[in-house]
Amino acid sequence: MTRPSAQAVLDSLRRDEEEIASFLARLAEAESPTHDERAQQAVFRLLADELDALGFAVRRLPDIHRDPFDRMLSAQTLERDLTLMTTDARIRQYDVATMQA
C-alpha cells in the first residue's frame, strides 16, 4: 500500500478533528488514575461503544496481531479510511495505510 504524504495525513486529521477531539474528551473524562472499578467500567463501556460503531470490524481482521488495542486501531484505520502512524511491522501487514513513526 502506498504511503500518503504528510500533507494528506494532516488533511485527514483536520477533516476528522471534531470526531477525534470528541472521542479523546470522552476518554479523558472516563479515565481515572485510581483503581476504582466504576471508573474502569466507564472506560470499558467507551471502548465497547467504539467497537460497536466499527461494526465489529476487529473480528473480521485476519489473525495477524494478538494485541486487542492494535487490532482496534487497525480496524478503525480501515473502516474510517485513515492513516496510522506506527513502528509495528505486524500492523503494517494489514491492508491499512500507515506512516512510519
The full set of domain ranges for the chain reads: 6-100
DSSP state of 67: -
Q: Give residue 4's pLDDT.
A: 64
User: What's the pLDDT at 84?
Assistant: 92
Give the model confidence (pLDDT) of 75-101 as tens digits.
889 888 899 999 999 998 988 899 887
Residues 23-57 have pLDDT tens digits of 777 776 666 666 777 776 777 777 778 767 776 67
Instruction: Give the per-residue pLDDT at 58.
Output: 76
Cell triple for 98: 500507515
The pLDDT score that the predictor gives to residue 83 is 92
At residue 9, the pLDDT reads 66
What phi and psi, each to the nearest 5 degrees, are found at residue 84? -105, 125
pTM of the model: 0.52
